[in-house]
Structure 1
């Protein structure tokens, strides 16, 4: 059984649609914070459950019977609260005996602890701490965000990588991940990365 968290959001819905083309709906769990506002997911054949990152008991129930979990990053802007929410979900996944957690992250989270990657870096650390088999999908800024003038300038002079949100959702929906972190764009960071498993350089995975 596969669980896709934050299932009522735009990202989650597109992943669900991709999975639904490959699996019967009853094998796909869709946890949402407000089930009464996601009746269309239940009507679509998905196993609709309550799942609130701020309520540990709901995440435990949401993950019951799960083989794999796609942890879609919380939209919370406060880094401390966002990481706490992710840890709640990861603890629930561990307690439920989930076989693998796939987590959406951000490009550079392996080498940066400030800015956009900050919460993702801490979340990736929590993944290792939890001892869960996992895969990290590190995406760059989405091209869809370039209505923002500052991002348009950064892209124009090469200071940020680009990627389409749809490509990340497609990768998440296929469920064919390697067993280590995977970046969805080339890692241009100068600083070397270290694998917590081996103590050596982290593997570099090609763009899917």
Structure 2
């Protein structure tokens, strides 16, 4: 990311979606592995012969491989897939723009200059409010918009966006009068320390 920065641009936040998205995949992994281990042990003891007499004797150890194969497929299909999707998506806020980058098999990248942002809205469900995550929608007053889902510490992230907009150069910032560019020559907060020296 730093190689793509323009002169004077600083990275403020570089984050992934909230880790709570991995709770259900983690629980599913434990349940799948537990059930597969129980089924494999039950089959290896030959107890299937009593239920299905037509099953050849001595096939228990081979049948015990079936739950393991099925469990491996289920783990790859859901938990691993969710983990890779979580790790492939990143949100980056710089002093000039905000980016939504997705890597992996499906690559995409969207960026929105902060100078175009006229509204920053936060949306939270009940569960998201418990873990301080949420969705942020940045609009420009036109057709363009950018939505960031499951942002960790969403209120703090929104405040950082607003602070970055307020500290834009005078010819790039927006005033509080409906999104018109500043014409008064103010440079936001000239006395603010560099972003890397601040505590969030």
TM-score by length of structure 1 reads 0.24
Structure with greater strand share of residues: 2
Structure with greater helix share of residues: 2
TM-score by length of structure 2 reads 0.25
Largest Rg, 1 or 2: 2
